[in-house]
Amino acid sequence: MLTIKNLHAEIEGKKILNGINLQINAGEVHAIMGPNGGGKSTLAHVLAGREGYEVTEGSVTYMGKDLLGLSVDERAREGIFQAFQYPIEIPGVSTANFLKHTINAVRKHQQKKELSAKEMIAFIKKMAKMVEMEDDFLSRSLNQGFSGGEKKRNEILQMAVLEPKLAVLDETDSGLDIDALKIVANGVNQLRRKDNAFIVITHYQRLLDYIIPDFVHVLYNGQIVKSGDKNLALKLEEKGYDWIKEEALAII
Amino acid sequence: MSKEASTTTLEDYTKCDYKYGFTSNIDTELIPKGLNEDIIRLISSKKDEPQWLLDWRLKAFRHWEKMTEPKWPNVKYPPINYQDIIYYAAPKKKNILNSLDEADPELLKTFEKLGISIGEQKRLTGVAVDIVIDSVSVITTFKEALSKLGIIFCSFGDAVKEHPELVKKYMGMVVPSTDNFYAALNSAVFTDGSFCFIPKGVRCPMELSTYFRINAEGSGQFERTLIVAEAGSYVSYLEGCTAPMRDENQLHAAVVELIALDDAQIKYSTIQNWYPGDKDGKGGIYNFVTKRGLCAGVRSKISWTQVETGSAITWKYPSCILKGDYSTGEFYSVAVTNNLQQADTGTKMWHIGKNTSSTIISKGISAGRSNNSYRGLVKVGKNAENAKNFSQCDSLLMGDKCGANTFPYLEIDNETAQIEHEATTSKVGEDQLYYCMQRGLKQEDAINLIVNGYCKDVFKELPMEFAVEAQKLLAVSLEGSVG
Ligand SMILES: Nc1ncnc2c1ncn2[C@@H]1O[C@H](COP(=O)(O)OP(=O)(O)O)[C@@H](O)[C@H]1O
Ligand SMILES: [Mg+2]
């Protein structure tokens, strides 16, 4: 589904990603861990196509297409979803209205059946229930006055209604209490299918108790310095990141 | 997304034309350019006016001659030559029409292009329309149905003929003919407009609407609107305006007066879409308008809602004089400027009676190289015990070449007043745009969604039909504004 080859990227002339290689197939969940400042969010933004993140080398192929040649919104309509580390507030635009517009945009592009107003409401409500969001959230301005946990659940709700092929979750677990964490994880698990894939960026192993990853990668200094299965996450939890850093330095 | 690619598409996108920029081939009667007492006498005689009205005009003119244009607005334009304007232009076909079939076919075509179907469609939606082209009212619908309720809705000219006592009593009561430079000019040369009278206890069952259109070249438009709501009555009034695209600047100097007696309520909504000029600032309407409402009676209420997207220059402060005890004034405004447009708009809330309250919600949006100023005065008189005002003035900037200013003035002469003022200036955030686009919205759709959200508190005050129109208009006005 996604092939990242030797990806280099910089922000304002500062090199952040230094040759990332990653292969993701449909049906897989990849966890990306690593110390703060390692480049995890940058990778998420580069995949989503955010302006200001300049790719200087390498390639990204998504569903057989050159992903880097597409604009942000084209990528989104092609099924790439980014759950934000810091979701944005949009005053005056109700969550329901926002969802309606985005659902229509994505479905139309993917030539899926258009939803009638009634179907739309039913669909949104069903998904809201899955992330345990009360209906009155839907009529409130998008993310405005939402608590941290509510914002993150709203991200999962958006993911659920947009039915992406590849979802990149950027620290969706940080700042969540255990109940909220379970809701988020449960949402992701319910959406796991044979034909979609997830990149779960996280700082903490505990999320991976609930979302069991197929692969775990450590991103450090803009490179994937170690990959393994879910046991790697446990080891990181136990031993911290220092041994990885040392290993990485030894290689250089 | 590469920057170059996005700029090119946006540039294409800007090339969208002003939709109402056509000129109609209506046979028009014009008088010579220029302004003097003879011209005023000529206008008055063309309109078959009584002597008192001519005297009124002449008094205004003599006063105007001694006045100078206000210089305090935050707008710039070359001096206007008031002798180079045609002060009377009227569609030739006489405006006493019994049915639409009698109207000039060109006129009907114009209506069609403007999206006004005065026939069945409006009948179904229940909006009574008065249409003013080049200062002359050409058609008023639903007159009869309304008159059964005692409601008078007609052109100003007809009102002078048929209800002179009402016109004489109320005209100039709120905006005296000497009030300000443009109001005095209007009082001297106004050619027509709308008149509306809602008798005691009557709730007007439909929206009343006036559609203003400047068509003739080299002419100015000077219309007057007068709305009187007697005790316990209610009316919702809508005003729309468009003009052809011309290289020259045309002057529009209107006067609107509202009078609400005891327990009466007037809701006045405007969608102002005069031609704004082209991308380089060539042409466009100078919109210098005086709008004022008098809450004369106890518990009376006047609400102004305006969506200002057009005009090269807007100078306009719909205001409320809260004279009756417990009266309420409201002002809800969205003012959009793009390209080289300039707007200096806001309101004045003058608390005179006891326990009066006012609300001001102003949303300015500046794009391109435009300049958008909010100017508001809240004045609380000595005897206005317990006056309350809430003001919220927000400015939204799109890009970094535009300007936004807020000039809130307070004159408080009574200690019991409770005044609350909030102001914000924000940019359409790159992060908001990115967020929307990451969810699959195209850039222009993302901008529309964000801006509509920003304007929501004002749009929700508009009658349903108008709210939809306002949203569309906003989308058109802001096309190509972020790059
Ligand atoms: N907008 C930016 N401008 C400059 N440097 C940035 C910007 N965003 C992130 N960085 C830098 O890029 C590096 C990687 O950041 P990030 O991708 O957010 O890491 P992580 O998500 O792994 O914590 C950090 O050194 C950070 O300071
Ligand atoms: Mg991060």
Report, as an integer, the average pLDDT of B224-248.
Answer: 86
**Residue A140 to residues A92, A98, B172, B287: CA-CA distances in angstroms?**
8, 11, 46, 38
pLDDT tens for each residue of B399-436 = 788 888 899 999 999 999 999 999 888 777 789 999 99
Q: What per-residue confidence (pLDDT) applies to B282?
A: 82
> B393 vs B142, which has greater pLDDT?
B393
Could A92 and B456 be called an inter-chain contact, meaning their C-beta atoms sit closer than 8 Å? yes
- pLDDT less than 70: residues of chain A: 251-252
> B13 vs A102, which has greater pLDDT?
A102
Report, as an integer, the average pLDDT of B39-51.
Answer: 91
CA A34 to chain centre: 15
pLDDT tens for each residue of B363-406 = 998 888 888 889 999 999 999 999 999 999 999 888 788 888 89
Q: What per-residue confidence (pLDDT) applies to B124?
A: 40
Classify residue B303 by burial, with Cβ atoms within 10 Å: 0-12, 13-18, 19+: buried
Residues 6+ apart with CB under 8 A from A112: none
Could A92 and B442 be called an inter-chain contact, meaning their C-beta atoms sit closer than 8 Å? no
From A85, A93, A94, select the one nearest A168 (Cα to Cα): A85
From A181, A243, A92, A117, select the one nearest B456 (Cα to Cα): A92
pLDDT of residue B101 exceeding 80? no
Answer for the pair B178, B63: CB distance below 8 angstroms, yes or no.
yes
Q: What per-residue confidence (pLDDT) applies to B33?
A: 85
Q: What per-residue confidence (pLDDT) applies to B102?
A: 57
Could A73 and B441 be called an inter-chain contact, meaning their C-beta atoms sit closer than 8 Å? yes
What single-letter DSSP state applies at residue B460? Answer: T
CA A122/CA A127 separation, integer angstroms: 9
From B353, B333, B384, B158, select the one nearest B260 (Cα to Cα): B353
User: Whose structure tokens read 């809201």?
Assistant: A128
CA B57/CA A6 separation, integer angstroms: 81
Split at pLDDT 50, 70, 90, the class of B280 is confident
pTM for the predicted model, two decimal places: 0.81
Q: Which of A72, A90, A93 shows the shortest C-beta gap to B437? A: A72
Q: Which helix (H) or strand (E) holds B155?
A: strand B152-155
pLDDT of residue B286 exceeding 90? no
**Single-letter amino acid code for the residue at B397:** L
Residues with CB under 5 A from ligand 2 (ion): A 40-41
Answer for the pair A220, A193: CB distance below 8 angstroms, yes or no.
no
Answer for the pair B183, B177: CB distance below 8 angstroms, yes or no.
yes
pLDDT of residue B476 exceeding 90? no
Q: What per-residue confidence (pLDDT) applies to A90?
A: 93
Query: A77 alpha carbon to ligand 2 midpoint, in Å?
Result: 24
Split at pLDDT 50, 70, 90, the class of B165 is very high
Q: What per-residue confidence (pLDDT) applies to B137?
A: 61
- What is the percent of chain B with per-residue pLDDT over 90, rounded to a whole number? 44
> B293 vs B19, which has greater pLDDT?
B293
Supply the ipTM of this predicted assembly: 0.95
In degrees, rounded to 5, the angle at the alpha carbon of residue A156 between the alpha carbons of residues A151 and A158 is 90
Could B431 and A71 be called an inter-chain contact, meaning their C-beta atoms sit closer than 8 Å? no
Query: Considering every ligand atom, which ligand is closest to the CA of A47?
Result: 1
Could you identify the atom of ligand 1 that is nearest to the CA of residue A39?
17
Answer for the pair B285, B256: CB distance below 8 angstroms, yes or no.
no
Mind spelling out the 3-state secondary structure of chain A?
A: CEEEEEEEEEECCEEEEEEEEEEECCCCEEEEECCCCCCHHHHHHHHHCCCCEEEEEEEEEECCEEHHHCCHHHHHHCCEEEECCCCCCEEEEEHHHHHHHHHHHHHHHCCCCCCCHHHHHHHHHHHHHHCCCCHHHHCCEECCCCCHHHHHHHHHHHHHHHCCCEEEEECCCCCCCHHHHHHHHHHHHHHCCCCCEEEEECCCCCHHHHCCCCEEEEEECCEEEEEECHHHHHHHHHHCCHHHHHHHHHHC
CA A224 to chain centre: 17
pLDDT of residue B16 exceeding 70? no
Answer for the pair B309, B318: CB distance below 8 angstroms, yes or no.
no
Structure tokens at B210: 């006036």
Query: Which range is least confidently modeled, A108-117, B29-38, B330-339?
Result: B29-38
**Test mutation, A47, A73, A84, A163, chain B, max B CBs within 10 A:** A73
Q: Hey, is the C-beta of A109 within 8 angstroms of any chain B C-beta?
A: yes
Could A87 and B435 be called an inter-chain contact, meaning their C-beta atoms sit closer than 8 Å? yes
Pocket of ligand 1 (CB under 6 A): A 11-12, 14, 16, 34, 36-42
Could you identify the atom of ligand 1 that is nearest to the CA of residue A36?
23
pLDDT of residue B115 exceeding 60? no
From A141, A189, A195, select the one nearest A169 (Cα to Cα): A189
Buried b (16+ CB within 10 A) or exposed e, B128-150: bbbbbbbbbbbbbbbeeebeeee
pLDDT of residue B182 exceeding 90? yes
From B184, B193, B132, select the one nearest B160 (Cα to Cα): B193
What is the pairing mode between strands A14-24 and B342-351?
Answer: unpaired
3-62 of A, contacting B, C-beta below 8 A: 48-51
pLDDT tens for each residue of A9-25 = 999 999 999 999 999 99
Report, as an integer, the average pLDDT of B255-278.
Answer: 91
Answer for the pair A138, A95: CB distance below 8 angstroms, yes or no.
yes
Side-chain-facing half-sphere of B169: CA atoms under 13 Å: 10
In sequence order, what are the beta bridge partners of B91?
B28
Structure tokens at B104: 């000039």
Query: A205 alpha carbon to ligand 1 midpoint, in Å?
Result: 22
Side-chain-facing half-sphere of A56: CA atoms under 13 Å: 12
Could B431 and A141 be called an inter-chain contact, meaning their C-beta atoms sit closer than 8 Å? no
Q: Which of B437, B440, B450 shows the shortest C-beta gap to A90? A: B450
Radius of gyration of chain A (CA): 18
CA B193/CA B177 separation, integer angstroms: 16
Query: B143 alpha carbon to ligand 2 midpoint, in Å?
Result: 66
Report, as an integer, the average pLDDT of B255-284.
Answer: 89
> B291 vs B73, which has greater pLDDT?
B291
Report, as an integer, the average pLDDT of B317-327.
Answer: 97
Split at pLDDT 50, 70, 90, the class of B122 is very low
What single-letter DSSP state applies at residue B234? Answer: E
Query: B251 alpha carbon to ligand 1 midpoint, in Å?
Result: 55
pLDDT of residue B209 exceeding 90? no
pLDDT of residue B6 exceeding 90? no
Q: Average pLDDT of chain B?
A: 83
Q: Hey, is the C-beta of A158 within 8 angstroms of any chain B C-beta?
A: yes
Split at pLDDT 50, 70, 90, the class of B7 is very low
Q: What per-residue confidence (pLDDT) applies to B120?
A: 40
Chain A nearest C-alpha distance from B459 (Å): 11
Chain A nearest C-alpha distance from B397 (Å): 15
User: Whose structure tokens read 């109207």?
Assistant: B103
**Single-letter amino acid code for the residue at A16:** I
pLDDT of residue B249 exceeding 70? yes
Could B445 and A162 be called an inter-chain contact, meaning their C-beta atoms sit closer than 8 Å? no
Q: What is Dmax (Cα atoms) for chain B?
A: 70
E strand intervals along B247-368: 249-252, 255-260, 265-272, 284-295, 301-308, 313-316, 319-322, 328-337, 342-351, 357-366
In degrees, rounded to 5, the angle at the alpha carbon of residue B266 between the alpha carbons of residues B100 and B288 is 75
pLDDT of residue B268 exceeding 70? yes
From B474, B469, B400, select the one nearest B444 (Cα to Cα): B474
User: Whose structure tokens read 């997207």?
Assistant: B309
Q: What per-residue confidence (pLDDT) applies to B113?
A: 60
Q: What per-residue confidence (pLDDT) applies to B355?
A: 97
Q: What is the sign, positive or negative, of the torsion defined by CA atoms of A110, A116, A121, A122? A: negative
CA A146/CA B128 separation, integer angstroms: 44
Q: Which of A15, A36, A42, A201 has most ligand 1 atoms within 8 Å of CB, for mutation?
A: A42
Could B440 and A141 be called an inter-chain contact, meaning their C-beta atoms sit closer than 8 Å? no
CA B186/CA B287 separation, integer angstroms: 12
CA A72/CA A50 separation, integer angstroms: 6
In sequence order, which ranges of B15-70 are alpha helices (DSSP H)? 37-46, 51-65
Cβ neighbours of B475 in A, within 8 Å: none
Answer for the pair B252, B274: CB distance below 8 angstroms, yes or no.
yes
Q: What per-residue confidence (pLDDT) applies to B3?
A: 34
Report, as an integer, the average pLDDT of B257-278.
Answer: 90
Q: What per-residue confidence (pLDDT) applies to A219?
A: 95
**Single-letter amino acid code for the residue at B413:** D
Could you identify the atom of ligand 1 that is nearest to the CA of residue A42?
17
pLDDT tens for each residue of B446-473 = 988 998 898 888 888 887 777 777 777 7
